[in-house]
Structure 1
Amino acid sequence: MSTSLIAQELKAELSALYAAEDRHYHGMAHIKALLGLLEEYRSSFSDPEAIEAVIWFHDAIYDSRAKDNEARSADLARDKLAGITGAERLDRIALTIEATATHTVPRIEPETARRDAALLLDMDLSILGTAPETFDAYEAAVRREYAWVEEPLWVAGRGNVLKTFLEREHIFHTEIFRSRFERQARENLRRSIDALEAQSGN
């Protein structure tokens, strides 16, 4: 059985970051949800321990005013996991963390690593395809994280973000997650965009 890359001491250190008061969505509940999905689909991953590390680190640095959270989180992973795993594997972990900025599958080798990254990105977006009340709570939590943004700017900016996902041919990269979440995700996104447009008067 493979060994976790995230020792208990490191889990405690990362958990403290996720416990920050300004994290209304990007906190430990999000990490635990992703770890739960990892266990549910563990047999679908070629390197589940690497993906576990991605989950723990991908939002470790989170400042809603910053544009480089994912890059800084990847750098933190490189620092904390140096010497714990090989350089090529650590590169894959870091590149997958960085990919959560755009939710575009990174160009990493081998192909099994790309599939692992695609599954991870789909897990990260699975909140979009949850029941309407869960999705609405997620939207409200993200809004609280961006409480500093004035309402007109939020309405325009959030609407654009949601539209980029809705306009994709597929929101999810893998058939596993498309079959489970795609239809509900499109309904949730459409409903949220309609509500934002109603606020803006469009």
Structure 2
Amino acid sequence: MQQYLSTLEKSWYELHRHYQFSEPQRTFNKLIAAYSEKQRAYHTIQHLYECLVLVETIRSELNDSNAVALALWFHDAVYDPQAKDNELKSVELFERYLAQDLQIDRIQKIKRWIAATQKHESTEEVDLQFLLDIDLAILATSPERFEEYEQQIQQEYAWVDPDVYLIKRKEVLAHFYQTESLYQTAYFQQNFEQRAKGNLRGYLGLSL
């Protein structure tokens, strides 16, 4: 927990140096509180941390790495497992917290990117491709972390009948597995695709 927080604080204040937020500490505290809400098991500061660490490893691939990082900070800022409008509410939260601090074109771009994490549709926009791939990078993690991830997702959906959950979850992961290119960028296809398909194959009980 403390490891995550120190890295997240460093990331946030690097963004503050770039954007000059009017209330950096207050906004940081609110975001950490949001990602620590009790209904979350996967969409937590751990997920945020994992996303932002990845941004650092691919910074040279991005056109606007600060905007990608800021969009990731807000992409799950609102999360209710029983709601269907989390991303749109996260967009509203971003606008409420930072609209006064950023140029209008950057606000519109980041709002569009946050909203895009709802459906993960194909795009030609390189930075958005990377942002969406980062959000799905968990699928290519170590087998141990993948198992933990699956347990965390199941915990968030504890309100669903277990048999129904299992059917629906397998449908979601089978869709990912059957997608010819799970990731949109060449970087993720080369470095993450094979591991992700292996994890999915293992979960679904499929053989090569």
TM norm structure 2: 0.85
Computed over aligned residues only, the root mean square deviation of the Cα atoms, in angstroms, reads 1.8
Compared with structure 1, are the counterparts of its residues 5 and 34 closer, same or farther at alpha carbon in structure 2 (3 Å cutoff)?
farther
Contact 1:5 1:50 in 2 (8 A): no
Show CA shifts across 1:166-197 (max 9, x none). 121200000111111101111111221239xx
Compared with structure 1, are the counterparts of its residues 150 and 89 closer, same or farther at alpha carbon in structure 2 (3 Å cutoff)?
same
AA at the equivalent of 1:185: A
CA distance in structure 2 between the partners assigned to 1:32 and 1:134 by the alignment: 14
| 2:117 is the alignment partner of 1:81 | no
Contact 2:39 2:81 in 1 (8 A): no
Task: Spell out the pairing of 1:50-199 with structure 2 (5 A cutoff).
Answer: 50-105=67-122, 114-194=125-205
Gaps of 5+ in 1: 196-202
Equivalent residue number for residue 41 of structure 2: 24
AA at the equivalent of 1:154: Y
Contact 1:129 1:181 in 2 (8 A): yes
CA distance in structure 2 between the partners assigned to 1:5 and 1:27 by the alignment: 25
Q: Secondary structure at the match of 1:191?
A: helix
AA at the equivalent of 1:79: R
State the 1:14 CA deviation: 0.5
Contact 1:99 1:105 in 2 (8 A): no
Contact 1:5 1:49 in 2 (8 A): no
Show CA shifts across 1:83-131 (max 9, x none). 211222111111111111111245xxxx6xx111110111111110111
Compared with structure 1, are the counterparts of its residues 22 and 157 closer, same or farther at alpha carbon in structure 2 (3 Å cutoff)?
same
Count residues in correspondence: 189
State the 1:9 CA deviation: 2.2
State the 1:146 CA deviation: 0.6
Q: Any runs of at least 4 consecutive aligned residues in structure 1 with deviations exceeding 6 A, and if so which?
A: none
| 2:32 is the alignment partner of 1:15 | yes
CA distance in structure 2 between the partners assigned to 1:187 and 1:35 by the alignment: 24
Q: Secondary structure at the match of 1:56?
A: helix
Contact 1:74 1:98 in 2 (8 A): yes
AA at the equivalent of 1:3: H
Show CA shifts across 1:10-51 (max 9, x none). 111100011112211100011111111111111111111111
State the 1:5 CA deviation: 6.3
Q: Secondary structure at the match of 1:185?
A: helix
Equivalent residue number for residue 200 of structure 1: none
Contact 1:129 1:182 in 2 (8 A): yes
CA distance in structure 1 between the partners assigned to 2:94 and 2:85 by the alignment: 14
Contact 1:42 1:48 in 2 (8 A): yes
CA distance in structure 2 between the partners assigned to 1:130 and 1:179 by the alignment: 14
Gaps of 5+ in 2: 1-13
CA distance in structure 1 between the partners assigned to 2:175 and 2:20 by the alignment: 34
CA distance in structure 1 between the partners assigned to 2:99 and 2:158 by the alignment: 36
Q: What percent of counterpart residues are identical?
A: 37
